[in-house]
Structure 1
Amino acid sequence: MSGDKKKELAATFSPAEIEAPLYKKWQDAGYFKADANSKKPPFTIVIPPPNVTGSLHIGHALDHTIQDLLIRMKRMKGFEALWLPGMDHAGIATQNVVEKQLATQGKSRHDLGREAFIEKVWQWKAESGGAILDQMKRLGDSVDWDREAFTMDANLSKAVLTIFKQLYDKGLIYRAERIINWCPRCLTALSDIEVEHKDDSGEFVSIKYGDDDVNITVATTRAETMLGDGAVAVNPNDERYKHLVGKKVLLPLVDRMIPIIADELVDPDFGTGAVKVTAAHDPNDFEMGMRHGVELVIIMNEHGVMAGTGTKFDGMDRFDARKAVVDELRKLGRVVAEKRPYVHAVGHCQRCDTTVEPRLSKQWFVKVAPLAKAAGDAVRDGRVKIEPEQMSPRYFEWVDNMHDWCISRQLWWGHRIPVFYGPNDEVVVCGPDETPPAGYTQDPDVLDTWFSSALWPFSTLGWPNQTQDLKKFYPTSVLVTGYDILFFWVARMMIMGLFAMDGKQPFDVIVLHGLVRDQFGKKMSKSRGNTIDPIEFMDKYGSDALRFTLARGANPGTDQALAEDWVAGSRNFATKLWNATRFAMLNGANVDGQLPKSKDLGAIDNWILTRLDQTVASADELFEKFEFAKACELIYHFAWDDLCDWYLELSKSTFNAGGAEAEKSKRVLGEVLDQLLRLMHPVMPFITEQMWCTLTNGQSLMISDWPKSNLSTQDHEAVKLVEQMQEIITEIRRFRNDQGIKSTAKVAAKFTGLNKVGLENYEAAIRYVVKCEAAGDNFTAKTQIGEVLIEFDLTGAVDLVAERARLSKDLQTAQKDRDTAKIKLDNEGFMAKAPMEVVTEIRERLAQTSSDIERITALLEKLPK
């Protein structure tokens, strides 16, 4: 170990005092940097880029904890580990932020013009964007800051233009009129992931179309859209309507005749079994409309205001029109039935919460069918593994049924679509090094933010340039993300990575974690008031405590609950380790690499070394299998139970005695702490670094070796001996407690039979732990554990009169409770009327009180007369 003089741990553990200095130490030393020219095997994670407008939320904290855990572990295992950080430009969110700032000055982006507005956004980013990056440092993220990327950086923008042209030239990007998600507030198309479906309370109205000769009743939640109906559809197998298929029916309010068509998409059991077909304002209706040549009637403008219907409803907001249309239909006697409130899932804009409007619009699309097939094949043939494996069907369900992807957005902030239109509607697509012909005008739209982030695993490594980073670190090793964006971002990265990199997958393993919920398992939301701010928890309990709590709950693909008490518990765990390490140092724990051989050690030392070895082997395997919760649980119990509660207590008599045996145990304790802190470092980096460097005088855990297990050195005989000691100690503690003896009081005891179980050399250790002295001559109480008999002299240790009175009172209470339970169970009338759960509870009470009576009676009999 380096250094000349050991430091001392502070008397109390204070996260605030150690975290920032340690992070600066790591960063200044260059420990986070990855070398593309290294001969070490690569291990790469690209961070799911948070929005430039965002701040660290609890989902980020979980996601980053898992990634940092993997990166730190792989570094210690000798990999050239790259964790690449960066941010997403977040088109809609960022533009909204800057537009709101302008609004406070009474201006809009149109007052500035496109170029000036974009300059304003860059200025905002420089001054206020990226707050999450500093918060990542608070969490301990060991990312390579020299490689920090932003989706609007020059090279990443070059990658966007390059792949757009490549896809276009292969016929995989096209422009067409399709139904898209439209936000009337943000005035742009939205991707599926930018739409949140929430339950809204509306009404379900059944409306009679037509007259006496031809009429049919349809049911809808969006009555206002009937003004744009092009047909009524029924299921071809629905006997109720077969005679109407092919006929025309009068559309009320606009007095237009529309056809009745038959389509398999219609569910005959929903509503009346007949649905209105508004092909320009509903995605399912659009598909039916395309199949049957239904007229596309647009009845709303981009602001969600009724327009072009030729009715009195023009100029009304869509929701006002909904009420007015139903009122008018009611007056005409065409409302057959109404159901309100009718709760159903409705799409809302993720950014502004406005109800999304399906809208027919000319947009740019990616033709995904061949790309999605490649993305499915990569998982099916094993190039990409999904963890947990049971999530794979959900992935296939998405990629096997993927719709063409709308990639154009009606925004100014983002990658402008590299399409130019000539004076006679000529279309030219320009790559990054090409310029359009003179007189051509560029498309005003920008690309979906997810388009650029789909290139993230390779654009951040320098593509389309053939860089050393790309050669060394692609494909990336692991993608860590929440299962909730498996369909959106993960699938898009797969299709783009496989396309751009000649079939090479963007990552080898997709590790999916669940969502963080509140302590009652409910989803966190501002409206519920149950959101958790990870920064507050880090301020209060330290980053390590938050990280350990999150990792300890991280079962693959499963949601986890989180409560403040659990973070406080992890802080207590950190404090216990701190105190144990401080105790070890004060008692001369030695980490000099000269660990005695197993044959020269006693059972207690060999036991803890064996348990350490078992823990390292199991935890390492679990970490590699992404079973973070199980690994952390294992480490927790080894550290708290085996090391702190048992080994330290069993070894204190040896430490106090001094001599050669004490020196051996000090080396063992030093070795155990050294290896344990290495094992824990990826999960709790700050406290382990501070303790390990102080204990060992080493430079940093970040550049130390990962602990290794050696099954051949495990001493199973020592494990058996210590387990016997634990049984004896536990029984003595139980006996003392039953006798009402204070835990601090010393009692005289005589041990017989230790030699029969091989524990004759460990009597001093057992006596020290249970506070039993050898002196005594009036052994009137006893307890037996197998072949070992322990007799006690309780003279002065117990107030026999008071203890007999206490136990007698407890016995009377138990007998009374037992008798009450028996009376109820013997009462036929009561048993006939009582609910089953009440009867079960009484039976359980009878069993418990009977057990209590037996136990208390035995204690009374053991008391000296």
Structure 2
Amino acid sequence: MTELPKTFDPAEIESRWYGHWETKGLFAPERPGADPWTLVNPPPNVTGSLHIGHALDNTLQDILVRHARLKGKDARWVVGTDHAGIATQMVVERQLNAAGSKRTDFTREEFVAKVWEWKEESGGEITQQLRRLGCSMDWANERFTMDEGFSKAVLKVFVELHKQGLIYRDKRLVNWDPGLGTAISDLEVETREIKGNFWHLRYPLEDGSGFIQVATTRPETMLADMAVAVNASDERYAALVGKKVRLPITGRLIPILTDDHADPELGSGAVKITPGHDFNDFEVGRRAGIEARDMLNMLDAKAQITQTSDGLIPAELLGLDRFEARKLVVQRLKDEGFLVPHVDKDGEAHDSEPRTIQTPYGDRSGVVIEPWLTDQWYVDAATLAKPAIEAVRSGATRIVPKSWEKTYFNWMENIQPWCVSRQLWWGHRIPAWFGPDDLPFVAEDEEQAGRLALAHYEQESGRKLKVVFQNSENFRAGNEIVGWIGTAQNVGSNPVDADTVVLRQDPDVLDTWFSSALWPFATMGWPDEDVKALGRYPNDVLISGFDILFFWDARMMMQGLHFMKEVPFKTLYLHGLVRAADGQKMSKSKGNVVNPLGLIDQYGADALRFFMAAMESQGRDIKMDERRIEGYRNFATKLWNAARFAQSNGIGASTTLEPPAAELAVNRWIIAETVATVQALDLALADLRFDEAANTIYQFTWSRFCDWYLELIKPVIQGEGSVPATGAGADETRAVAGWVLDQILVMLHPFMPFITEELWSKMGTRDHEIIVAKWPMADARALDPAAAQEIDWLIRLVSEIRAARTELNVPPGTLLILYVEDDSVSVEVRGRLFRNSAAIERLAKVKPTYLTNSVEEAVIRADLAAGSMSVSAEGLTAYAPLSGVVDLEAERARLTKAIAAAEKERDGLAGRLNNPSFVERAKPEAVEKARADHAEKAAEAERLSAALTRLG
């Protein structure tokens, strides 16, 4: 046994133990024959740093994997990072800009090489931060979504899906980021409320008979309008359906058609349709029979005005930024009489109506996103979604909380084609090579693509051909792979004859969500290894924020079922968000972001982890509360001091997994309480009720063990009065206390790994670390109802006496005589009083005495009648005279006044809560606080009234 320092120092302990665990390979111990248990972490961006959401997500995962490891399973927690195409490319480009150069100064290959250099030098920050949190990940097998093995899986999946017709090229609208020059996912779009305007426009009918009025927040898009839609039920426009209007500025004739998208109750009931620049309009256009290839596009990749295919946009608008063009378009509409003025409430006319508009921005570029019509690669998500829907319906994968199932089904049943191409240089290059007629050949490498192209074009031309690859090292060196068809041409510096086919690889890369969708099986060795046979797939559980349910979780379901023919995880647990203390979402712009590393510096990783677990209640959002984290730091200190107390009293490491034999009721009670705690903890973790699990071990450790058991056994192990500090009772108690403390350390280890490992090592000689110890046995045979009833009775009695003393202002050190009616108690209660009298006197500062028919009885009863403290427990009512101990009249007056004040506040709050106007109109948090305050004051009034009654 090594003596513990007086002060608990988390920082020193954490750095020392984490390095020890990792060096010894204890995060993936060799356990041949053990049941496999796997978990994959949502791979953080390689550019990222630990934020509070990561802290929650990874804490919950670590609790489960440490618990599985303690249960003897072959637990594997796969760790890795995502290459984060956009974010990483931006980081490296900023470095280049700072050095006076830019990406386009380099070839693609040179730029990608620079990204790899950055990754090796600076890309591991978040993995070091996960270590600080205590994450017991399998670092020896760390993965990266761009590593060789994972990339092989990505290419295989793309090629296979293309062969099956589930990946295809199509022209559709995407979220286009003009600042980054790429399509982005919905998750990378940040919607902001912006003060904007609503312009009302008049479109003249072709025959000159009148106008139809429309409204828009983006008047410049009228340059690419292709229709005006009205609702078929709108009688105002029935006679106009089928007619045409002539657009101002461009002069384009467009039809008036019917579509349910037009709502007769909104505005004029007529809607301008720009299918090439609005997602809703795109669908209207398709319903109207307009093919995507025929939809007009008026913007280039930088969101500048470009000429539409019909050539009708005036030259002075071409090349202008979209917002500059807006000003000119509005001015021309006004000058030509097509702008309908807005008249405000004061009767003044304005060009537009002010509106607050939900505007999409790129979360990284900060630029307004444009719906843009472009050719991209798409996955047939609707087909892949069907087995994933059935997997949840059948229970093959359960979603926790179950309430998220409805959202999952709604999204999956209405899923749209998934755009998987991005216009970047960093990422998995799309394995497609285009011929001279833009026909793509999809293959895992150039050689296979060349053979596909050769076969196609030789059959088409009927002659022998060759293939070369444009913009590749092979082509620059003049090395022909296999060959091409076409007229004589020149590519780069190499002459190409009519018998040479030039193939150029698609310059785009894959969306990072596409590669991360393979995470549960590609990280395990697929496709080179049979990961199912090795027991590595499916994963037992996936823990994820609800915000990536569709972007990642559902896509893993689709890809896992398609390629592995089995769900990727048996359980999907969706946690909530960590919010600021006032309930607001954390954001840098609000300045309310909390740095978890700062919290670890201040309170220790164990305290932060325990806070996360204790507050995680089946997906509900967590409000940040630093005082709670401080409280859990105090909990760790309490445990530390309990271990020091144990050391100083000869209590050390247990030598058995089985509970020691025990005769004393207090020892039989704590053994039973320990087993009941193990049972409750197992059930809570099986149900993924992290808050319940944390509260279970917290209450047992703090209340049952530290506050009660250690206090109750002090007379036995320290000696007191006639009780010696040695002997069978003391030896038994030390053995039981050591065993219970060991069980606490093991049960608490998943939540607080550092302090538990430190205490485990210092309490005695061990042959293994706690991280690979055995989980306690929940043996119901150790439950002892008789001992539980006796000690619970004792605790209630002591608690009652302590509360009464506090309420009546009895000086803490004053020993009171507690009189018990001799003939009012049963034999059983007499036995309890006898066996526990020393503990009652020590803990409650009262000396139980029987009140018998004696000469002194009349005097004692008179003292009791003058003023006394009454207490009760099951089968027992007792009294302690207070005359001469407290000022009885002053106490009665104080209590009466306090009762009146509490009742007044209680009744005032009741009045507010009974007022429907307050409950309906006040903010929910105000109503909730009023209810809590009312309950508190009601309880206070009741408690004080009981104290006055006790006083007599």
TM-score by length of 1: 0.91
| Cα separation, 2, equivalents of 1:96 and 1:167 | 30
Does the 8 Å CA contact 1:811/1:856 hold for their aligned counterparts?
no
Q: 1:718 aligns with which of 784, 787, 790?
A: 787
Query: 1:34 and 1:381, CA in 2 relative to 1: closer, same or farther beyond 3 A?
Result: farther
The answer to whether the 8 Å contact 2:895/2:948 transfers is: no
The more displaced of 319-328 and 41-50 is: 319-328
Residue from 356, 362, 367 that aligns with 1:354: 367
Which of residues 691, 707, 711 in structure 1 aligns to 2:759? 691
CA distance in 1, matches of 2:935, 2:681: 39
Q: Distance in 1 between matches of 2:588 and 2:792?
A: 50
| Bigger mean CA deviation after superposition, 812-821 or 444-453 | 812-821
- Answer whether contact 1:589 1:669 (CA < 8 A) is retained: yes
Query: 1:142 corresponds to which residue?
Result: 136
- Residue type of the alignment partner of 1:434: Q
Give the partner amino acid of 1:23.
Y
Deviates more, 1:753-762 or 1:413-422: 753-762
Cα-to-partner distance string for 1:233-276 (whole Å, 9 max, x where unaligned): 12222222222111101212222221011123333333322211
CA distance in 2, matches of 1:323, 1:302: 20
Corresponding residue number in structure 2 for 1:705: 774
- Does structure 1 conserve the Cα–Cα contact (< 8 Å) formed by 2:204 and 2:212? yes
- Residue 546 of structure 1 aligns with an amino acid whose one-letter code is L
Summarize the Cα distance change of 1:600–1:490 in structure 2 as closer, same or farther, 3 Å threshold: closer
Which residue of the other structure, out of 58, 61, 76, is the alignment partner of 2:52? 58
Distance 1:228 1:589, change over 3 A: same
> Match for 2:436: what amino acid?
P
* Cα distance change, pair 581–340 in 1 and its aligned pair in 2 (3 A): farther
Cα distance in 1, alignment partners of residues 160 and 621 from structure 2: 39
Asked if 1:808 is matched to 2:887, the reply is no
Partner-residue secondary structure (3-state), 1:654: helix
* Same amino acid, percent of matched pairs: 42
Select the structure with the greater relative contact order (CA < 8 A; seq sep ≥ 6).
1
2:392 maps to which residue? Answer: 379
What is the aligned counterpart of 2:12 among 8, 17, 23? 17
For 1:420-431, list aligned pairs within 5 A. Answer: 420-431=433-444
Structural RMSD (CA): 3.1
The CA deviation string for residues 69-122 of structure 1, in whole angstroms up to 9 with x for no partner, is: 111111111111110110000000010111111111221111122111111111
Partner residue, 1:474: 537
Aligned partners of 2:230 and 2:257 also within 8 Å = yes
Aligned to 1:788: 876
1:771 is matched with 845
In the alignment, the residues of structure 2 paired with residue 160 and residue 849 of structure 1 have an alpha-carbon distance, to the nearest angstrom, of: 64
Q: How does 1:252-651 map to 2 (within 5 A)?
A: 252-294=248-290, 296-308=295-307, 309-310=313-314, 312-336=316-340, 338=342, 340-432=353-445, 434=448, 436=450, 437-438=467-468, 439-467=502-530, 471-501=534-564, 503-593=565-655, 600-651=662-713
Distance 1:843 1:159 in 2: 61
Q: Provide the C-alpha distance between the structure 1 equivalents of 2:758 and 2:749, rounded to a whole number of angstroms.
A: 10
Q: CA contact under 8 A between 1:383 and 1:508: conserved in structure 2?
A: yes
Check 1:775–1:723 CA distance in 2 against 1; reply closer, same or farther (3 A cut): closer
Question: Separation in 2 of the partners of 1:669 and 1:813?
Answer: 43
Give distance in 2, aligned partners of 1:642 and 1:229: 74
Specify the SS of the correspondent of 1:642: helix
1:672 aligns to 2:746 (yes or no):
no
1:762 aligns with one of 836, 860, 863: 836
Distance 1:782 1:167, change over 3 A: closer
In structure 2, the CA distance between the partners of 1:435 and 1:614, relative to structure 1 (3 Å rule), is same
SS in 2 for 1:133: helix
Counterpart secondary structure, 2:444:
coil
Q: Decide which moves more: 553-562 or 44-53.
A: 553-562
Q: Is the 8 A contact 1:417 1:446 kept in 2?
A: yes
Look up the equivalent residue of 2:554 and give its one-letter code. Answer: A
Greater CA drift, 40-49 or 551-560: 551-560
Q: Between Structure 1 and Structure 2, how many residues are aligned? A: 843
SS at match of 1:43: strand
One of 142, 164, 189 as aligned partner of 1:170: 164
Shift of 1:398: 1.6
Amino acid at match of 1:463: W
One-letter code of the match for 2:728? A
Q: Given the superposition, is the C-alpha separation of residues 740 and 250 from structure 1 closer, same or farther in structure 2, using an over 3 Å criterion?
A: same
Q: Which residue is equivalent to 1:31?
A: 26
> 1:565-609, CA deviations, whole angstroms, 9 ceiling, x for partnerless residues?
111111111111111122122112244446998984222222222
Q: 1:632-685, CA deviations, whole angstroms, 9 ceiling, x for partnerless residues?
A: 112111111111122222222222222322222222211211111111111111
Instruction: Quote the Cα distance in structure 1 between the aligned partners of 2:197 and 2:333.
Output: 14
Quote the Cα distance in structure 2 between the aligned partners of 1:817 and 1:89: 61
Cα deviation digits, residues 540-564 of structure 1 (max 9, x gap) = 1000000000011112222111221
> Structure 1 residues 144, 277: CA separation in 2 closer, same or farther (over 3 Å shift)?
same
Q: Return closer, same or farther for 1:669/1:327 CA change in 2, 3 Å cut-off.
A: farther
CA displacement at 1:773 relative to structure 2? 5.0
Identify which range, 444-453 or 373-382, moves more after superposition: 373-382
Name the CA distance, whole Å, in 1 between partners of 2:800 and 2:146.
67
Instruction: From the superposition, tell whether residues 114 and 208 of structure 1 become closer, same or farther in structure 2 (CA, over 3 Å).
Output: same
Pair 1:661-2:729 in alignment: yes
Mean alpha-carbon deviation: is it higher for 550-559 or for 694-703?
694-703
Per the alignment, do residues 81 and 596 of structure 1 end up closer, same or farther by CA in structure 2, a change over 3 Å counting?
closer
For the Cα contact (< 8 Å) 1:248–1:258, is it kept in 2? yes
List runs of 5+ in structure 1 lacking aligned partners: 1-5, 826-830
Task: Flag structure 2 segments of 5+ consecutive residues without an equivalent.
Answer: 308-312, 343-351, 451-466, 469-501, 720-724, 851-855, 923-929
Of 810, 814, 818, 1:741 maps to 810
Deviation at 1:752, TM superposition (A): 5.4
Is this contact kept in 1: 2:666–2:787, CA < 8 A?
Answer: yes
Letter in 2 for 1:788: L
- Aligned mates of 2:211, 2:918 — CA distance in 1: 55
SS at match of 1:176: strand
CA–CA separation in structure 2 for the residues paired with 1:821 and 1:201: 45
In the superposition, relative to structure 1, how do residues 298 and 820 fare at CA in structure 2: closer, same or farther (>3 Å)? closer
Mean Cα deviation higher: 85-94 or 666-675: 666-675
Distance change >3 Å, CA 319–CA 790, structure 1 → 2: same
* Distance of 2:591 and 2:224 partners within structure 1: 41
Residue 204 of structure 1: how far off its partner (Å): 2.2
Q: Does structure 1 conserve the Cα–Cα contact (< 8 Å) formed by 2:662 and 2:668?
A: no
Name the amino acid aligned to 1:530.
N
After alignment, is 24-33 or 410-419 more displaced? Answer: 24-33
Match of 2:485 in 1: none
Change (3 A) 1:470 1:350: farther
Change in 2 beyond 3 A, CA 1:340/1:586: farther
Per the alignment, in what secondary structure is the counterpart of residue 589 of structure 1? coil
Secondary structure of 1:347 counterpart: strand
Counterpart Cα distance in 1 of 2:412 and 2:536: 26
